[in-house]
Amino acid sequence: MPLEASGLYELAQVQLQSGNIEVALDYLSEAVQLFAQVFGPLHVNIANCYKVIARIHHALGDSKLAISYQQKTVIMYERLLGSGPLQLYISLC
C-alpha cells in the first residue's frame, strides 16, 4: 500500500502540472487515506500531501481551506521533526 499511495502522490503532481486540479485533489485525498491506513494518522508523507493540498486551495482562492491544511501540515511537521527542523523547513520554502 505505501507504494500505491506514493504512486497516487506522484500522479497528483503530474495532474497538477497538466492543470487537472480536481483530479490531483482526488489523488492526494486517496494517498492520504492509504498512508494513514499503513502508517497511522501522523506521518511525513501525509504532511507532504496536506502541504500540496494547501497550496492548491490557496491557488484556487480558498483561503479558509488553505489555512486549515497548512495548519495540519505545520502541526504534523512539528510533531514528527521537532521545532528546530521545522524552522529550517519554513525558512527554505
Domains along the chain with CATH numbers: 2-92 (1.25.40.10)
- Residue 37 CA neighbour count, 13 Å, CB half: 11
List the Cα angle 42/37/18 in 5-degree steps: 85
User: Is pLDDT at 89 greater than 80 in this prediction?
Assistant: no
pTM score, whole prediction: 0.87
What pLDDT is recorded for position 52? 97
| pLDDT tens string 30-72 | 999 999 999 999 999 999 999 999 999 999 999 999 999 999 9
Q: How confident is the model at residue 91 (pLDDT cuts 50, 70, 90)?
A: very low
- Orientation angle between helical segments 63-81 and 44-59, nearest 10 degrees: 160
H or E, element range at 40 = none
